Every structure is written in structure tokens, then in C-alpha cells.
Amino acid sequence: MDVVSQFLSNTPLWVYILFFYLLSRGIKGFKPATVSLTKLAVIPVLLTGWSLIELIRLYGLKLETSLIWIAGIGVGVGIGILLLRRAAIFADPSTGLIHRPADYTLLPLVLITFAIKYTFGVIAAVSPEHMLEPAFRFSDLVLPGTASGIFVGKFTVYLQRWMAVRKTSLP
């Protein structure tokens, strides 16, 4: 138990704030809602930004590591689109809002994504030598990239629905 308390006490405050924010968004996802595109973009931007910052901090912007991360994003985008492609999402151009159904994937996905990033962060802090192992590096690039990509893919569906309605409502 001492190890767990060490991890928790050495975790920066912003990580706790992010965790509780993501947890609250995931729980709110269980109910249908009418929201703005901006609000729907927050989680993809936060998680992709966090992933990109860690990529740069840990590995630098090297072509090899960037391509692996981008490939993970691409896979995730495909998964995200598949998750929402048949969802009943309606955009209202008069209000600028989107009605989305309950999203039962949001909470598990934010928790899994957070766990991936937190776990790799702890490993990097405790055993930096793992950063040199090819399997670790690959996993640390692909998994967060894929997780972020899922949220980007889901947002892409919202944006596509919004653009389709907006295009048909223009004079």
C-alpha cells in the first residue's frame, strides 16, 4: 500500500483535476444532451493535446515516433467513426447546437485513456530506462494515439452531421 500512496502523493494536482473533469464528462455522457460543437471538442482536444505534449516531452518530434503516434491516431479515428456512424445525431443550425444520444462508450473510454496515460507516465518516472525499449516506446506511442484518435473520430462524426445540416440550410 505504501507504493500506491507514493504514486498518489507524487501525482501533480492538474492530473487529479483532469481525472475528475473527465470522470464528470463521462458520467454526463450517459444522458442524451443538446450541446455545442465547442463543448463536444473539449475532450478530444484535451486528450490529444496531453498525448502530443507527452510525445514531445518524452521522445521529441522525431519522424519515427511521430509517424507511430499518427498511425495510432488514424486507427483511433476509424474506431471513433464506427462507434457513432449510426447514432441519431441531429444538428440544429438555428441554435448552433447538436443533439446527441446517450453515449455509453464515453466513460469507459475516458477512464481507459486516462489509465493508459497515467500508467505510462508512472513507468517513465520510476523506470526511465524503459523509454529506450522498443516495445515500450511503441506501446507508449500507439496506445495513447489510438485512444486520442477515438475521441477525434467521434468528434468528426458530430462535425460531419453539423456540416451536412448547415450545408442544406444555407440560402
Identify whether 113 is part of a domain.
yes
Consecutive H or E run containing 3: helix 2-9
Identify whether 3 is part of a domain.
no
pLDDT given for residue 4 in this prediction? 74
Identify whether 58 is part of a domain.
yes
pLDDT per residue as tens digits for the range 26-60: 999 999 999 999 999 999 999 999 999 989 988 88
Identify whether 139 is part of a domain.
yes
Count of structural domains within the chain:
1
Average pLDDT value for residue range 69-80: 97
pLDDT per residue as tens digits for the range 99-156: 999 999 999 999 999 999 998 888 888 888 888 899 999 999 999 999 999 999 999 9
- Are the beta carbons of 19 and 123 closer than 8 angstroms? no
Identify whether 30 is part of a domain.
yes
Identify which of 20, 75, 27 has the alpha carbon closest to the alpha carbon of residue 46: 20
Identify whether 6 is part of a domain.
no
pLDDT given for residue 19 in this prediction? 94
Identify whether 130 is part of a domain.
yes
Identify which of 41, 59, 39 has the alpha carbon closest to the alpha carbon of residue 51: 59
Burial class from Cβ neighbours inside 10 Å (0-12, 13-18, 19+) for residue 139 reads middle
Domain range for 150 is: 21-169
Buried b (16+ CB within 10 A) or exposed e, 147-166: bbbbbbbbbbbbbebbeeee
The strand pair at 90-92 and 97-100 is best described as antiparallel
- Are the beta carbons of 97 and 35 closer than 8 angstroms? yes
